[in-house]
């Protein structure tokens, strides 16, 4: 189980929102690249970036901040002899040219959310043009997918869309429970497991992580196909320590694997 720190970008700053509300933004850093370095030093093995302004505008708005983060990540990886530290980005990505530009800049994965729901043909083209590098972001409330920075609720069921997009060849799915995002009320384990069981591609859980208990709960259902969890407000406010959380996740994963191996003999 991988713990992925989130760096949400708004007006060039690192912020966290509550339930996707841009009016409820808490600024945690004026320097997103410095924040990225902080999480790397805390043992992060992957980073999750969101262009919040871009999500609402429908086009990239924080490219300068993204580039500065990528430079820091590349330098850190080189200094520490790490081959690659993947960085994924979502928010306002609506065309293939933008995807190509971002990947050329050094991003490992592009997350397509609203555009996937509104224009499935674009997602299909993106998966074909950039195999293994496209992640679908499905943000839902009460099982229904939301779009446009969570401002609009569609009539689409999460599982129906997930199965459809899996057939397009997307790498994985980031599943966010909007009602829990930024509220630190606990991950919606039941809904996340239900989605993971419905598809064969990996699920990245998001929304509601509060403490080590949430990490442990996710580790117990990792076998269902949940490979990672995105951590936001919890690691910024200190209810979850990233390094010790990842250590605990590694420990539990190893213990569960040993248990399975012993049971199979």
Choose the catalytic residue: 11, 21, 104, 139. Answer: 139
Give me the helix-helix angle, 96-105 and 63-79, nearest 10°.
Answer: 30
Choose the catalytic residue: 8, 177, 181, 214. Answer: 8
Residues contacting residue 8 through CB under 8 Å, at least 6 positions apart:
14, 15, 16, 17, 49, 50, 52, 232
Active site residue 139: yes
Q: What's the gap between Cα 254 and its chain centre?
A: 23
Cα separation, 203 vs 206, in Å, equals 9
- Report the number of secondary-structure helices (H) and strands (E) in the chain: 11, 12
Cα separation, 163 vs 177, in Å, equals 18
Residues contacting residue 229 through CB under 8 Å, at least 6 positions apart:
1, 2, 3, 4, 187, 204, 205, 206, 209, 214, 215, 218
Scan for tokens 């339930």, then name that residue: 19
Give me the helix-helix angle, 212-220 and 189-198, nearest 10°.
Answer: 30
Cα separation, 185 vs 208, in Å, equals 5
Active site residue 31: no
Q: Which residues are catalytic?
A: 8, 139
């Amino acid at each position: 189980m991988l713990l992925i720190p989130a760096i949400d970008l708004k007006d060039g700053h690192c912020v966290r929102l509550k339930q996707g509300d841009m009016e409820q933004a808490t600024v945690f850093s004026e320097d997103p690249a410095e924040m990225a370095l902080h999480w790397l030093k805390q043992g992060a093995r992957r980073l999750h970036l969101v262009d919040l302004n871009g999500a609402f505008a429908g086009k990239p708005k924080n490219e300068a901040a993204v580039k500065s983060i990528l430079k820091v990540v590349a330098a850190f990886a080189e200094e520490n002899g790490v081959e690659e530290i993947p960085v994924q980005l979502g928010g306002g990505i609506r065309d293939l040219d933008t995807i190509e530009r971002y990947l050329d800049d050094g991003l490992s994965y592009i997350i397509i959310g609203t555009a996937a729901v509104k224009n499935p043909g674009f997602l299909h083209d993106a998966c074909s043009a950039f195999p293994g590098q496209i992640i679908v972001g499905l943000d839902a409330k009460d099982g229904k997918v939301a779009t446009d920075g969570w401002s609009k609720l569609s009539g689409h069921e999460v599982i129906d869309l997930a199965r459809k997009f899996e057939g397009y060849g997307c790498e994985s799915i980031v599943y966010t429970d909007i009602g829990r995002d930024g509220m630190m009320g606990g991950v919606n384990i039941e809904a996340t497991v239900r989605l993971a069981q419905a598809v064969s591609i990996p699920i990245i859980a998001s929304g509601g992580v509060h403490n080590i208990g949430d990490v442990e709960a996710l580790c117990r259902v990792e076998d269902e196909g949940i490979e990672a969890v995105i951590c936001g407000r919890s690691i910024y406010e200190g209810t979850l320590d990233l390094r010790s959380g990842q250590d605990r996740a590694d420990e539990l994963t190893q213990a569960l694997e040993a248990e399975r191996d012993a049971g199979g003999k």
